[in-house]
Chains A and B, each alone.
Chain A
């Protein structure tokens, strides 16, 4: 009981700070994911236009390499290149977002029923119209679920970005550890979890397939 009132007082005192960190967190996640979407989705679309698999195995290989570098290592490696602060963090997280986005978009488009593609060609869709009106809409659930997945885990990884001085909810945790303040650690962690759950819920709602009514 005592602890709860204490925590409420704590929240009243520190909420501007908490909100600011949350805002930073969202900006980092948003920038990384949006950049990732732009690059990965367009690359995936281009890759689906190639008949032979060379270009796609190359890109997937590359994205895979980024994926396997431990996140702390990647962040550390970027410090000498880009210094500290928000930008190197966004870059690192962006690199992490590439593989799942690339993979989902690519397989989403590739997996469109070949009969539907043939029907679209036979009806006289140009290749661009086919992409826009048929392939992308049909791949949409895949692409959105890729975005959802990526966003959720980028939100959690962004807490690490505080170690390169990017700010965000990780700041609260680091400060809490430094000052031995459990409320700070707790607030940072729980806020990151809430953000992740909220993102999952919202993006899940958006990606729901509405062509089959129940």
Chain B
């Protein structure tokens, strides 16, 4: 367990980088530090391996105050992935990975096995990559080597400063999966710095959210998503994720206010088209998005009407026709703050597949569809887990 107690850091130039940091980081868990650039994530992380000394306060590892520990010995026991990769350019990949085991005077056979094992783990076949120099690897490959270098000596604590930032989305996801799988077996204490909220939600057991040198909120991803401490956290998490995870708060509103409103139910990106769109390309768009009608809006997204697929098909042979020629107008539209039952009632009575949602200026903001109703129902009546 790592414990930071009343830690302050003021840099030599007088900059106050950290203010009153108190953290208990449980052993065997992945702790993700997240926050905007310059908020002090790296600084906090580097306190733990004494690359940075606190101006005030104490840091304990397993109850031992680390100011009493020889920093060189301490660092050999803590894996470290530096923010900017920092491979040694004059050493081969295998020498790079073997740095800490060599410092710890491991047996050469054991070192070689470890190097091979780790290189394979991150999809860098040892035969190909072992004897290359870092300059002969791509940025993403270098970053993977940076990660396994930190794992090589099997430390109990691993500090990773934005370890996946240079990877393409696919390898990043892959390494995230790899890390969480690995963690199930090895149960290290991992401190992981990132900017990426999706990454944090995916891998964290515990998220430490920071802002301007202070800790704003600490909690599991669930806790943070469900109970963001303040507006900063909400904004940082992002509307999209909050909405995704708002299923339950939303249900609460269902209980409290009786009926959710249209804006809680609607999809906010219905398939739209402009009135001057040709019919063939409209048909194509419908196929792609798997819809049987297009909502037609002008360039200010004011609602004009809709074009059902049958109308489009019946005129398709006429190349001069556009959507405006086959358009029908809506009999009905709802406002975001209407109770969603209004939409439901209309759809039921008219057998309409959806209802457009417009604001007071007649600008399209979404649509209530059958699909969105089904989603709502599944939340109200969740699959029989509770019964089991």
Contact = CB atoms under 8 A, between A and B. Distances in A.
Given A138-B89, A211-B135, A212-B136, A119 B80 contact: yes
In the A-B complex, list the 8 residue pairs whose CB atoms are closest, starting with the nearest. Answer: A119-B86, A124-B76, A124-B75, A122-B80, A115-B84, A115-B86, A211-B133, A212-B135
A113 B76 CA distance: 21
Interface in B44-65: 46, 49, 51
Given A124-B103, A125-B103, A212-B136, A118 B86 contact: yes
B85 A120 contact: no
Interface residues of A, number: 19
A119 B87 contact: yes
Interface string A98-113: 0000000000000001
B73 interface: yes
B85 A123 contact: no
A213 interface: yes
Q: Which of B77, B83, B88 has most chain A Cβ within 10 Å?
A: B88
A126 interface: yes
A127 to B, nearest CB: 8
Contacts of A211: 89-90, 133, 135
Interface in A72-102: none
Contact of B49 (A113, A122, A126, A138): A122
Contacts of A123: 75-76, 80, 99-100, 103, 149
Contacts of A115: 82-86
Interface in B122-178: 133, 135-136, 149, 159
Contacts of A194: none
A118 B46 CA distance: 10
Contact of B51 (A118, A126, A213): A118
Interface string B96-129: 0001100100000000000000000000000000
A183 B338 CA distance: 109
Contacts of A119: 80, 82, 86-88
Nearest to B149: A123
Interface of B: 46, 49, 51, 72-77, 80, 82-90, 99-100, 103, 133, 135-136, 149, 159
B73 to A, nearest CB: 7
B255 to A, nearest CB: 52
A129 interface: yes
B135 A116 contact: no
Contact of B73 (A124, A134, A213): A124
Contacts of B90: 137-138, 211
Contacts of B76: 123-124
A116 B72 contact: no
A180 to B, nearest CB: 55
A208 interface: no
A116 B103 CA distance: 17
A121 interface: yes
Given A118-B51, A211-B133, A124 B100 contact: yes
Given A115-B82, A138-B90, A212 B100 contact: no
Contacts of B135: 211-212
B72 A124 contact: yes
Contacts of B133: 211-213
A211 B260 CA distance: 65
Interface string A39-75: 0000000000000000000000000000000000000
Contacts of B85: 115
Interface in A133-189: 134, 137-138
14 contacts: A115-B84, A115-B85, A118-B82, A119-B88, A122-B75, A122-B82, A122-B159, A124-B73, A124-B74, A126-B72, A138-B90, A211-B89, A212-B136, A213-B136
